[in-house]
Amino acid sequence: MSRLAARFESERRRDAFLRLIGVKPVIMGILNVTPDSFSDGGCFQALDAALGQAHKLVAGGADIIDVGAESTRPGHTAVPPDEEWRRLEPLLAPLLTEVATPFSIDTTKAEIARRALSLGVSVVNDVWGLQKDAAMADVVAEAGAAVVIMHNRDSVDPDLDIEADIRRFFDRSLILADRAGIPRTRILLDPGVGFAKTRAQNLKALALTGALRSAFGLPILIGASRKRLFGDLTPSSIDDLLIGTLAANLVTLARGAAVFRVHDPAEHAAAFKVFKAIECAG
State residue 236's pLDDT score. 66
C-alpha span between 145 and 14 (Å, rounded): 7
- Short-list 95, 88, 77, CA closest to 9: 95
Q: Which of 186, 213, 226, 227 is catalytic?
A: 227
Active site residue 109: no
**Cα–Cα distance, 63 to 13 (Å, whole number):** 10
pTM: 0.94
Q: Which residues pair with 259 in a beta bridge?
A: 26, 221
Going by DSSP bridges, is the β-strand pair 221-222/187-190 parallel, antiparallel, or unpaired? unpaired
- The 3 state secondary structure assigned to 175-213 is HHHHHHCCCHHHEEEECCCCCCCCHHHHHHHHHCHHHHH
> What are the structural domains, with CATH classification, of the chain?
3-281 (3.20.20.20)
Q: What's the CA gap between 40 and 201, in Å, rounded?
A: 25
Residues 124/98, Cβ–Cβ less than 8 Å: no
DSSP at 74: T
Phi, psi dihedral angles at 273 (to 5 degrees): -65, -45
- Which pLDDT value is given to residue 262? 97
Predicted confidence (pLDDT) per residue in 116-160, tens digit = 999 999 999 999 999 999 999 999 999 999 999 999 999 999 999
203-222: pLDDT as tens digits? 999 999 999 999 999 999 99
Q: In angstroms, rounded to a whole number, what is the distance separating the alpha carbons of residues 71 and 201? A: 22
3-state SS, residue 215: helix
Residue 237, SS3 per DSSP: coil
Check residue 39 and give its pLDDT: 55
Euclidean distance between CA atoms 230 and 251, whole angstroms: 14
- CA dihedral sign of residues 165, 27, 215, 127: positive
Alpha carbons 269 and 48: distance in angstroms, whole number: 25
**Does the active-site annotation cover 13?**
no
Q: Which pLDDT score is estimated for 231? A: 79
Q: Is 156 helix (H, G, I), strand (E, B) or coil?
A: coil
What values do phi and psi take at 225, rounded to 5?
Answer: -60, 125
Say which DSSP state 152 is in: -
Residue from 114, 115, 197, 261 carrying the catalytic annotation: 261
Query: Which segments within the chain are labelled E, that is strand?
Result: 26-32, 64-68, 103-106, 123-126, 146-150, 187-190, 221-222, 259-262
- pLDDT computed for residue 233 by the predictor: 83
What pLDDT sits at residue 75? 61
Q: What pLDDT is attached to residue 5? A: 85
Residues 6+ apart with CB under 8 A from 159: none
Continuous segment of H or E residues that includes residue 72: none
- At residue 46, the pLDDT reads 87
| Residues in the chain, pLDDT under 70 | 1, 36-43, 73-76, 235-239
